Chains A and B, each alone.
Chain A
């Protein structure tokens, strides 16, 4: 059974067929069924068909080139044979985790639109399901061209979702979102074409090239070989990294995110924060590191600094926001900074922490956006000053929101803590930076800062602290104190005469609403208290992603002029990585 293709295409197919027959008002039901089918297929694949041990390998054939592949549930069909492009999908632990996250949040994407979307429903749900298709495909595609196709497919539906159902400033936001993402993705296309023509190895000055778009074949050709042609390629790495960094988004490429989040309808924000940003992190782990280890190691210190800036900048900017959605958007910048920080630490802790942080961010930030969406449906405003004392009037909401906020803050016992803590641990042993410090002409050596990885970790930790500040400010302002409507009655009623009387007294959550938050809350608690299964699932992904980099790091260490005392510790780190 082509399980992965079903996961990608079955939901949209059901929706499209349903759209023909269902009346507009019932479209949400069609969409819900589609998403549930997708979720069921995903869970079926993940629980019964998928081998989580990470020991799966097989020899695969792609257009006559064979390669060893660790991907499971593979499907391979020749597609555009004129261009040697094929339709290949497959999953490993990393993609499977992301697919599960996507499938779950997809359902919530429909549920949170249940009442909020009251015009052009058919279109909306078709776009939502198309978006889902694009994201699933991005996580599962194993052909670079196919990956690019799905990557672009993510763009258009969200463009329409923000542009049609967004709030006041939506046209500006949606245009900004598309153009930012497009710059990255078109450069990625050029890089992919370059990779097609240059995949191979240089042996005795002669290039033996295997022209292919297949990721598996590329990986097999490039992996760990110093003669590999991608080895000294800097700009293709940068082009790919730029595309992914814009999606993540990494400072200073993040400016589209607050606008897009603020203007998007709730479902758009949830999918955007929950999974769309993860495609960036996924891309870096999947493509940038294994295919371009040399370039990745070279750029790692600079990228790490950008990540640290993103963490601190995102947190500081979040503190001064008055718009709740904008605040959470900036918190995303900060939290996704941890992902980049972890990945480019290039050691097992950092990488595992980064993957977990992606999942955590998917849970907690989507939860926050869901919760804010529920509030917005009631109050039609996102201004923090318009709320207050909600804890009295909406106790269930307050309780569930608290779980989400604390999960996002990183309270021990909830999921957020584990991810951030592990990333910080990893960043203390940021291998490329330790190497950089050994380089006599580097900035670190000039400053005589042998321990500057600790500086990085320390600065990133302040991000956690500021994170607590802005999230608790948010919670305090909206849920405690006296109802803001008390002094703001007049203007509020003038704007929303049809809404629910005085500010702050809104009806509490319905089952549909608290159900969504409860599921996410339980997930947050589960990961926080019993992370072992998740760690086990992440471990093979970490290993696969770091193996090529470890070879490069080993080589770099061997090339060091005067291996000092620090060297031993670096080496132990890389050994860990290679394991």
Chain B
């Protein structure tokens, strides 16, 4: 060490989103403390919206670092950047639904908005993390905020119970994560994933005694931990209860934001192992197994659900299963390279393509979820199917929107193609390209099972007469009337309309979304030297 003092290399643009989210969260707390109930109800949504939007913009600005930054702790590739954008969009959607939700259930607005922003901070950190300790802390920032958001409605027993279940299983998963990190540290002597990658590349063939097994244990434990967070079968049992019990905006947030973050980290994590020759074959198999289990079980269990939110929970299990197909391809790529089918340049291209496929799928899933949960929120009734009987006759726009969401989720390709369809198409295309036709066929056949329950909801909305005596629809509305709510409605409507438009626009021009990442790469390739400067 010839330099006198060690100056950490900090890329300001890189941490700008973190700063803005942290500041936003703090500001929310402070503003809540300084203003009364009504005041904070009015001002907090604005603050949190601005903070989230600022973070979003800093990701969209050209020149966001690519590659490692902040002393290798974070790694920004096209996937994690797109993931962060999706996370922030989902957080913004949650915030936009906030004002109505806060009044509807008389929630403490200070905690509500602060936690949304802090959860977003955790998610963004997790999506970019490339080091186990930072990832763990990020995971906990995210999870703790979400546990509380789930249980924030203290008047509802369901909410408390959901929060409790989420907490126990979430903490359980975190423990797996940490224990796994310990073994990774033990086998590769580092908690930095980039170093682990190098370690596997240079010493993967002749690791010291025990280290090989530890590395496998490490992957297994961290993978299980992430599977819990991603609600992949068979680690999905918390999802239906939490989705049903949590308030609808939080459900949306859990379904989209937390999943995107965990997914982005899973990809960083899997990438660290990808340079390890003996790793690919068994892990490809395991990932494939999880994908098949999630697709089939999620879709089959969704059929029998009588609550919309539970149904969407199981459907999200299946949707994550579809994404695991892409992870499977990603994990298998190095072995294809070793077999001589690919060279290094195409492997880089292919990786980008698969990243695009997954991020497009995640973006699609998020936008569709915003539409679906948004309409569920708009209608009220906490997801009870009775509220949807003959919805078309009472609220045609909501019914059509929900139908678009359902068609799009099922991935039916009707003209014009929706983002849900393009996402699935892209995924299956990547799978077929690498001769994983078998899993693509399983995936697409399970999507037929999925079509059954999506279409059943459409049957309920369009083809059944409305139930005259159902008071469920009014449950949320009555409280709003009592609270004298007028505003917030228009915002939600605009949000839903935007989501609907995006479903079609991104379906027709998926390049608009994936291009967001490409732009960042081409405008300013970031090297370590530039960071240091």
Q: Could you give, for residues 384-427 of chain B, a 1 whenever the CB lies within 8 Å of some chain A CB and a 0 otherwise?
A: 00000000000000000000000100001111010000100110
Is A397 in the interface zone, CB < 8 Å from B?
no
| Interface status of A386 (Cβ within 8 A of chain B) | no
Residues of A within 8 A of B415 (CB): 133-134, 137, 149-150, 152-153
Which B residues are CB-close (under 8 A) to A155? 412, 414
User: Is B459 a contact of A156 with CB atoms below 8 Å?
Assistant: no
A148 part of interface (Cβ distance < 8 Å): yes
Q: Tell whether, in the assembled complex, residue A179 and residue B437 are in contact, meaning their CB atoms are under 8 Å apart.
A: no
Kindly provide the distance from the CB of A240 to the nearest chain B CB, expressed in whole angstroms. Answer: 14
Expressed in whole angstroms, the Cα–Cα distance for A155 and B421 within the complex equals 15
Pairwise interchain contact A153-B462, C-beta atoms closer than 8 A: no
Interface string of A152-188 (1 = CB under 8 A from B): 1101100110011000001100110011001100110
Complex contacts, B510 vs chain A, CB 8 Å? 80, 82
Q: Any chain B CB within 8 A of the CB of A197?
A: yes
Q: Are A197 and B432 in contact (CB under 8 A)?
A: yes
Residues in chain A near residue B445, CB distance under 8 A: 183, 186-187
When the two chains form the complex, which single residue of A134, A179, A186 contacts B444, counting CB atoms closer than 8 Å? A186
Chain A 192-233 interface mask (CB, 8 Å, partner B; 1/0): 011011000000000000000000000000000000000000
Knowing A82-B510, A189-B428, A190-B441, the reply to whether A149 touches B451 (Cβ < 8 A) is: no
Mask, B496-533, CB within 8 Å of A = 1, is 00000000000011110010000000000000000000
Residue contact A152 to B412, C-beta cutoff 8 Å: yes
Shortest Cβ gap from A412 to chain B (Å): 43
B452 at the interface (CB under 8 A from A): yes
Q: Contacts A175-B455, A178-B455, A193-B428: A80 and B508 contacting too (C-beta < 8 A)?
A: yes
Q: Return the contact of A189 from the options B422, B444, B459, B511 (Cβ within 8 A).
A: B444
Q: Are B440 and A156 in contact (CB under 8 A)?
A: no
Q: List the A side residues contacting B414 at CB < 8 Å.
A: 149, 152-153, 155-156
Known: A163-B459, A186-B447, A190-B441. A175 touches B412 (CB 8 A): no
A186–B448 contact, CB under 8 A? yes
Cβ B463 vs Cβ A171 within 8 A: yes
Residue contact A148 to B451, C-beta cutoff 8 Å: no
User: Number of A residues contacting the other chain (C-beta, 8 Å)?
Assistant: 34
Give the chain B neighbours of A134 by CB distance below 8 A: 415
* Complex Cα spacing A194 to B432, Å: 6
Q: How far is the CA of A148 from the CA of B456 in the complex (A)?
A: 23
Instruction: State the CA gap A134–B429 with chains docked (Å).
Output: 24
Q: How far is the CB of A350 from chain B (nearest CB, A)?
A: 32
The CA of A159 and the CA of B412, in the complex, are separated in Å by 13
CB <8 Å contact, A193 and B432: yes
Distance (whole angstroms) from the CB of B420 to the closest CB of chain A: 12
Q: How far is the CA of A101 from the CA of B433 in the complex (A)?
A: 39
Known interface pairs A156-B407, A182-B448; A190-B440 also in contact (CB < 8 Å): yes
- For A190, the chain B residues whose CB sits under 8 A away are 428, 432, 437, 440-441, 444
A148's contact among B413, B422, B429, B440, by CB below 8 Å, is which?
Answer: B413
Give the docked Cα–Cα distance between A153 and B509 (Å).
19
Q: Please, which residues of chain A bring their CB within 8 A of the CB of B413?
A: 148-149, 152, 189
**Contact: B447 with A159, CB < 8 Å?**
no
Within 8 A of B (CB), among A282-332: none
**Chain B hits for A148, CB < 8 A:** 413
Contact present for A175 and B462 (CB under 8 Å): no
Question: CA A193 – CA B417 in complex, angstroms?
Answer: 16
Question: Is the pair A182, B412 in contact by a Cβ cutoff of 8 Å?
Answer: yes
Residues of B within 8 A of A160 (CB): 462-463
Given A187-B441, A189-B428, A193-B429, A171 contacting B407 (CB threshold 8 A):
no
Complex Cα–Cα for A234 and B102 (A)? 59
**Chain B nearest CB: distance from A56 CB in Å?**
28
In the assembled complex, how far is the CB of residue A140 from the closest CB belonging to chain B, in whole angstroms? 13
Encode contact with A along B236-267: 1 for CB under 8 Å, 0 otherwise.
Answer: 00000000000000000000000000000000
Chain A residue contacts of B444, Cβ below 8 A:
186-187, 189-190
Contacts of B422 in A (CB 8 A): 80
Given contacts A155-B414, A189-B425, contact A194 B437 (CB under 8 A): yes
Query: CA A153 – CA B462 in complex, angstroms?
Result: 18
In whole Å, how far is A523's beta carbon from the nearest beta carbon of chain B? 31
* Distance between Cα atoms of A137 and B414 in the complex (Å): 12
Of the residues B417, B440, B463, B514, contact of A163 by C-beta under 8 Å: B463
Cα–Cα, bound, A7→B451 (Å): 31
Closest to A151 in B: B413
Q: How far is the CB of A391 from chain B (nearest CB, A)?
A: 38
* C-alpha spacing A153/B407, complex, angstroms: 12
Which of A133, A150, A171 has the most chain B CB atoms inside 10 A of its CB?
Answer: A171
**A197 to B510 Cα, complex, angstroms:** 20
Q: How far is the CA of A521 from the CA of B407 in the complex (A)?
A: 40
The residues of B that contact A159 with a CB separation of less than 8 Å are 455
> In the assembled complex, how far is the CB of residue A518 from the closest CB belonging to chain B, in whole angstroms?
35
Q: Are A156 and B412 in contact (CB under 8 A)?
A: yes
13 pairs, CB–CB < 8 Å, chain A vs chain B: A81-B511, A82-B511, A83-B425, A83-B429, A152-B412, A159-B455, A160-B462, A179-B452, A182-B412, A189-B428, A190-B441, A190-B444, A196-B429
* Chain B interface (Cβ < 8 Å from any Cβ of A): 407, 412-415, 417, 422, 425-426, 428-429, 432-433, 437, 440-441, 444-445, 447-448, 451-452, 455-456, 459, 462-463, 508-511, 514
Nearest 3 Cβ contacts at the A-B interface: A186-B444, A163-B463, A152-B413
| A residues at B contact (CB < 8 Å) | 80-83, 133-134, 137, 148-150, 152-153, 155-156, 159-160, 163-164, 170-171, 174-175, 178-179, 182-183, 186-187, 189-190, 193-194, 196-197
Q: A187-B444, A190-B432, A197-B433 are in contact. List 19 more A-B contacts (CB 8 A).
A: A80-B417, A80-B509, A82-B514, A83-B429, A148-B413, A149-B413, A149-B414, A149-B415, A149-B417, A152-B413, A153-B415, A164-B462, A171-B463, A175-B456, A182-B412, A190-B441, A193-B429, A193-B440, A197-B432
